[in-house]
Amino acid sequence: MKSEEPKPTQEDYDNWHKDPSNWYLGCFYYNPKDKRLLPPKRIQWMGYTINFANPYSVLLLLPLLIMIVLVLLK
């Protein structure tokens, strides 16, 4: 039986958010330890961003990209 990892605390989320190694080019969040689909942006009052390490969050982005391409092709 697989043992589950303990749920991250708010302190874990805060530390991951502050860690520059989790931000590529300063704006793309990539953290495999963080299972959230939409963590807060680096400047938190600006909303949320996508965790590119989570495959489900990337799937969340696909419909938006498809809609943009369809609008541009019209």
* pLDDT given for residue 2 in this prediction: 61
* pLDDT given for residue 33 in this prediction: 94
Domain ranges of the chain: 10-73
Do the beta carbons of residue 31 and residue 16 sit within 8 Å?
yes
Q: 32-73: per-residue pLDDT in tens?
A: 999 999 999 988 899 999 999 999 988 888 898 999 999 999
* pLDDT given for residue 17 in this prediction: 92
- SS3 for 29? strand
**Mean pLDDT calculated for residue range 5-31:** 92
* pLDDT given for residue 21 in this prediction: 94
